[in-house]
Homo-oligomer: A and B are copies of this chain.
Amino acid sequence: MSRWEPDAQGRLQQAALELYTERGFDQTTVAEIAERAGLTERTFFRYFADKREVLFGGQAPLLELLTKSVAEAPDSASPLDAVGVALEGAAAFLDGRRDGSRLRQAVIDANPALQERDLAKRAAMAGAIAEGLVHRGVSETTARLTAEAGAAVFGLAFEQWLAADRHGLAYFVRRALAELKTLS
């Protein structure tokens, strides 16, 4: 058997999601995940620090993408429009993974500790967006508020996308963003 495992990370994520769905997050061990994926525990820990990271790992590239897209949006874009451009980019990052995202969300929704971690992830998203806005010369207060509103838009759009059968995530992002602009 080769020591190199093609897509070991993806197989571990898939196995973990199956087991969390079948048995619950708390009832699943790393050994079981590795076995289901046909890999060793050692391989598991090469990719993930713990069971939770299988669900939440890999956020760094998304955060970097958000900061960069906001910072590099056209000069003419308002702060909120710059956020909109970035969120549509993030949506493209997730589109095509609706089924896996649904399973993952169901696991999170069933576990209060995972829900808190999910909120922390969204706060990190707002932080990454705000950082991009500050790069654009937007004041700290406006940056924070716009970023939080943007993260709320994304959170709502994400939920609607999971519940829907048609339309990509970007569609729901645009719709929620348009609605945000009408608040007064």
Contact = CB atoms under 8 A, between A and B. Distances in A.
B176 A145 contact: yes
A123 B155 CA distance: 12
A80 B155 CA distance: 19
Given A145-B176, A180-B183, 16 more contacts: A78-B184, A79-B183, A80-B184, A112-B120, A115-B120, A116-B119, A119-B120, A119-B122, A141-B160, A142-B179, A144-B156, A145-B152, A145-B180, A148-B149, A148-B155, A181-B183
A153 interface: yes
Contact of A149 (B120, B141, B149, B160): B149
A102 interface: no
Contacts of A141: 156, 160, 176, 179
Interface residues of A, number: 29
Nearest to A117: B116
A13 interface: no
A67 interface: no
Interface string A66-87: 0000000000001110000000
Interface string A142-172: 1011101100110110001000000000000
Contact of A152 (B79, B116, B119, B152): B152
A98 to B, nearest CB: 19
Nearest to A79: B183
A145 B148 CA distance: 11
